[in-house]
Structures are given as C-alpha cells and as structure tokens.
Amino acid sequence: MALVARVNPTDGEDTIQTALDFVRTHLNMEVAYLSEFVGEDLVFRAVSAPGFEDQCFVGGGMPLDHVYCRHILAGRLPELIPDTAAEPLCADIPLTTAIPIKSHVSVPIRRRDGTPYGMFCCLSRTAQPDLNPRDLSVMRAFADLSAEQVNDKIASRVARQSARAGIEMLLNEQAFDIVYQPIVDITGNRPKGFEALCRFRPEPYRPPNLWFEDALGVGLQAELEVAVIAKALKSLDQLPDDVYLSVNASPSTVGTGLLTDLFAQHPQERIVLEVTEHSMVEDYDDLVSHLDILRFRGVRLAIDDAGAGYSGLQHIVKLKPDLIKLDISLTSDIDKDVVRRSLGAALVRFAVEIGADIVAEGIETDAELAALTSLGVPLAQGYYLGRPGDLDSALAWFEDGQKTA
C-alpha cells in the first residue's frame, strides 16, 4: 500500500526514481539504474546508488562490452543472477571484477516498436542466494512501469519534434494566407477596418488557433505571430487610407519587442493590435511598457475576446485599451438572453467611462445586430456583416472607387 502511495503516475522522472529506490531496497542490493543504449555505450538515465555516486551517476556510462546487457538480451546470461560465480561467462565481463559484481538482476526496457531501449538493473557486491523468481517478477513489474514512462517521454519528444518541424515548414515556406473580415460601423455599414486572420495551408484544415498553440508548445509562437502580422501588413497600403487593419498577438509576443520595428515600416495610426489573454500575464508592467512604445507611435490597442472567460476585467483595467472586442460567447443570442444583454450593457457603459470603443464580434443575425445597436455598440464584426475573405473581397467593399470616405 505504501508503495502505491509513493508512485506518482503524473511524473515520469519521479516514478522511475521511486521504482529504482524500491527495487534496490526490496532486493537488498547496492546499485539500481535505468540505462539507455547509445551506440556502443550504456548511459545511465536514472540512478539509485547511495555511496556509489562517483561511479554511477545520471549521464555517466560505460562501454556495452564491459557490462552484462548484450549477453542478457541474447539469452547467454539469465536476467536473475543470485551469484555471479555460478555463471562462468560473468568472469569474462570486465565489470564483474572491477566492482566486483557478485549478484545481478537486470531486465530489458523496450521501445513501443519492440527494439531494445536499455536495461532496468540492480547489482550488489555480495552474492544474494535468496533471490528467487518472485523477486524477478517484482523487478519486471517495475521495469514495465518505468518502460511506460520512458516510452511516454519518447512519444512526447517525437511529437514535439514533428510539431516544431511543421511550424518551421510553415515559416520557411510562408505556407499561410491572410483573410480579412470587415469591422463595420453599425450606423454606416462601411468597414472602418478589417481584422487580419490567418489561414494555414496544410491539409486537413485546422483552425488557426490550433497552429498558434502548436507554435507556443515548441517555442515558436512569437516567430509565427510576427511572420503572420508581417504578411498581413503588406496589404495595408492597398486598403483605403481611412481604414485600419487589426492584427492579433499574444502578450508574450508583444513582450519580445519584435513588433516595434515591424510596425515602424507602416502607417502606425492605421494599425490596431488585438491582444488576447489566453493565459496568465506574468508581468503587466513589462507588457504595458512595450505597449506604451507602440501606442506612443499611434498604434491602437484592442482587448480581444472580452467576456470569454480569459479576458477578465482586470486585463482591461490594467491595459486601458482603445477598443474592447466583445466575444461571440457574449454576443451570440444577445437578443434573446437578458443576462448577456445586461452584461453587454454594463461593458458598453464601462467602455464609455474609460474612453474605449466597443466592437461586437460574432454577429450572425439581424436580431443580434439590432440588440447591440440599441445598447449603443458602435462597431460590429460577424458572418452577418461579412465573412473573412481574401484581399480582393475586402477591396470589393470600396468598389465605387473612393479610396477615402
């Protein structure tokens, strides 16, 4: 019972360490380790060897020719050796005399494809004639548990490598396109601006936020967000001069400072930066100081997805945005739902108080638009008003030839 309590299945390293500590003390041996075969060597990946730390430490290792592993894998030596003196082959293995090894229990750890990964091993400088098949069963059970952890780790490393390769491919080949969704003035119906949204080309289609999550997971979020914004901003000079472009970035990308130079190459008063808070902002002061640099140069700040759960009021209060974008979860069915309507009304009043404009997102029906208009929301975005489309579809809004309002 105590053993179960000590094994923490959510933490692979701890589980393997606990397993090694347990088998070493249970079998009354001096050294236990989990090894990996790397080329012609064995490398210790986890170790339980109090008093032998100089010889047996994580990252250390020795040539496979000096140890028992290959012989056990080939069936020339048994997994359970209570007394090495009883196995003539042991005398030929350099480590037997170097330590000296008098008893040895070792079982293979295999990858999920069946290939050997390494060994789960216990050894002692004294013979252990009491060691029996039940002890070997215990050893195997813990080796299997450890193998699960090792294989989970390998699988997540492979997944991470392939996700990173996928994002690097997107970046190298610029395998994404920008679509533009109109943000219309509720009274005039002419776009005041467009939100630039990304569409990644690889099939099957995946929503853009999933690609950005992958990028975050492999440390390439800022690179990807900046590359997408750079591509979007190239279209700014084709849009009418009084129309803005809204681009999306996470707080951590803002914190890199990479946007400062990029935005400086464009008319900054026509850029709106939408910042979402999908995870905790660790240092608001740092974020505010980066945003202040951009805002000083004319960039306007929007808080995206307000009311969605992550963008709390605190986020709005601390960042004092120019625009607050009401999330679809708040605007959907707002004409039918009194709670959403009251919350919407409160946010409109709040926005007026802090001198911000409101953009209602996700408008799909005339009734939703009417409800938001009656609340005094000035700007709206949604399929009912215009779906995200390519640059030509954005320019079609102005086909009367007017480049300015």
In the complex, the residues that contact Mg ion under the rule CB under 5 A are: 248, 274, 304-305, 361
CB of 173 to ligand C2E, least distance (A): 17
Burial call 226-243: b when 16+ CB within 10 Å, e when fewer: bbbbbbbbebbeebeeeb
212 makes contact, choosing from ligand C2E, Mg ion, none, with CB < 5 to 8 Å by partner type, with: ligand C2E
- Residues lying near ligand C2E in the complex (CB under 6 A): 181, 196-198, 207-209, 212, 225, 228, 248-249, 274, 276, 304-305, 328, 362-364, 381-383, 388
Specify the residue, 24 or 270, whose C-beta has the smaller distance to Mg ion: 270
Choice between 197 and 288, CB closer to ligand C2E: 197
Least Å distance between CB 53 and ligand C2E?
Answer: 48
- Interatomic CA distance for residues 35 and 43, integer angstroms: 5
Q: How far is the CB of 398 from ligand C2E (least distance, A)?
A: 20
Q: How far is the CB of 367 from Mg ion (least distance, A)?
A: 21
Say which DSSP state 361 is in: -
CB 352 to ligand C2E: min, Å: 23
What, of ligand C2E, Mg ion, none, does residue 198 touch, CB below 5 to 8 Å by kind?
A: ligand C2E
The interface partner of residue 249, options being ligand C2E, Mg ion, none and the CB cut-off 5 to 8 Å by kind, is: ligand C2E
Task: Work out whether the CA dihedral 363, 367, 370, 372 comes out positive or negative.
Answer: negative
User: Using an 8 Å Cβ cutoff, are 36 and 116 in contact?
Assistant: no
Select the binding partner of residue 126 from ligand C2E, Mg ion, none (C-beta < 5 to 8 A, by kind).
none
Measured distance CA(306)–CA(14) in Å, rounded: 40
Q: Minimum distance between the CB of residue 303 and Mg ion, rounded to whole angstroms?
A: 9
C-alpha 404/C-alpha 75 separation (Å) is 83
**Would you call 92 exposed, middle or buried from its count of C-beta atoms within 10 A (0-12, 13-18, 19+)?**
exposed
User: ∠398-378-273 over CA atoms, to 5°?
Assistant: 75
Identity of the residue, 84 or 276, whose beta carbon is nearer to ligand C2E in the bound complex: 276
**Residue 301 to residue 115: CA distance in whole angstroms:** 54
First to last CA, the chain: 76
In the complex, what is the shortest distance from the CB of residue 212 to ligand C2E, in angstroms, rounded to a whole number?
Answer: 5
CA distance linking residue 29 with residue 99, whole number of Å: 13
* The pair of three-digit structure tokens given for residue 287, joined into one six-digit string: 């974020």
Query: Closest Cα to residue 303, out of 278, 283, 286, 282?
Result: 278
The distance of Cα 77 from the centroid of its chain, to the nearest Å, equals: 45
Q: Which helix (H) or strand (E) holds 261?
A: helix 258-264
Question: Which does residue 128 touch among ligand C2E, Mg ion, none (CB within 5 to 8 A, set by kind)?
Answer: none
Residue 217: name its binding partner from Mg ion, ligand C2E, none (Cβ under 5 to 8 Å by kind): none
Nearer to ligand C2E, 123 or 254 (CB): 254
Residue 180 interaction partner, one of ligand C2E, Mg ion, none, beta carbon < 5-8 Å per kind: none
Q: Which is nearer to ligand C2E, 80 or 236 (CB)?
A: 236
Q: Is 310 helix (H, G, I), strand (E, B) or coil?
A: coil
Nearer to Mg ion, 21 or 357 (CB): 357
